[in-house]
Structure 1
């Protein structure tokens, strides 16, 4: 839960996460070679590793990595010294560019799950009074328990919709 709440700290958290991920992947890919820069092939492997980690660790839908053509275009934008390869700092800039949409998507999903769903649950609790059988049970539940149950149900529906 602490990691989820930390995401609301903003841009600093995001930048720190991108730096940690990009440094780890850069070191992992570069451990096999003597060069200080990533070639296109190494960069493509690095992108696949990053998206593999993102899909394992982040909530929400599966994120597809950019195509080779998109990577080539981004290399041209991020390659400051125009040598056709990316050094560590250029790789960080590259990582910021390719993961921008991913973080936006995850943030929107977290906002719905953590803020909107409990609010809607509490606002609709009173409307369940007239539902036979369910109304009395819902009214006896504390607001926090009811909001949690509705939030879990909404998250489960979201995940089911993403899988189909």
Structure 2
């Protein structure tokens, strides 16, 4: 439940999640190869790891990674010292640019959820009157509390099931 509440913090939460994902992918490939920087093959493996983590950690639909050709073309833009490899900071900028659309899609899905869920909750509150035991409790709750609880439940459900 704490993770669901963190998602309400927005940009900072997403930035921290992306930085964790980026560092984990860079370190994992770097440790496997023993090199300080990532070659193209290392970079592509890292991209696959990053997209795997995005699909696990961030709510929303499954996001497909880019093709090798797309990664190769982008690598040239981010290899600032032209050595054919990316260091940690070049890699971080590369991944942030590569995943910008993905993070926006996750954000939009979360915004839609946070806007739609309370409205639906309030619209359906009246229908709970006929449910024995539950109806009376729900009717006694203030609208703002009920809408918040339903929204929190929806966000938690989406995060656990990877639904946008």
Mark yes or no: TM-score above 0.5: yes
Confirm whether residue 61 of structure 1 aligns to residue 54 of structure 2.
no
Confirm whether residue 85 of structure 1 aligns to residue 82 of structure 2.
no
Aligned pairs (5 A) from 1:8-157: 8-122=8-122, 124-125=123-124, 134=127, 136-137=129-130, 140=136, 141=138, 142=141, 143=143, 144-145=145-146, 148=149
1:22–1:92: 8 Å Cα contact kept in structure 2? yes
2:119–2:147: 8 Å Cα contact kept in structure 1? no
Shift of 1:149: 5.0
CA spacing shift, 1:10–1:125, aligned 2, 3 Å:
closer
Structure 2: runs of 5+ lacking an equivalent: none
Please give the TM-score of this superposition, normalised by the length of structure 1.
0.74
Deviates more, 1:89-98 or 1:140-149: 140-149
Please give the TM-score of this superposition, normalised by the length of structure 2.
0.74
How many residues align structurally?
154
Deviates more, 1:15-24 or 1:81-90: 15-24
Shift of 1:135: 6.7
Higher relative contact order, chain-length normalized (CA < 8 Å, sep 6+): 2
Give RMSD over aligned pairs.
Answer: 3.3
Structure 1: runs of 5+ lacking an equivalent: 129-133
CA spacing shift, 1:44–1:113, aligned 2, 3 Å:
same
CA distance in 1, matches of 2:154, 2:18: 31
CA distance in 2, matches of 1:51, 1:110: 19
Shift of 1:29: 0.3
CA distance in 2, matches of 1:154, 1:88: 33
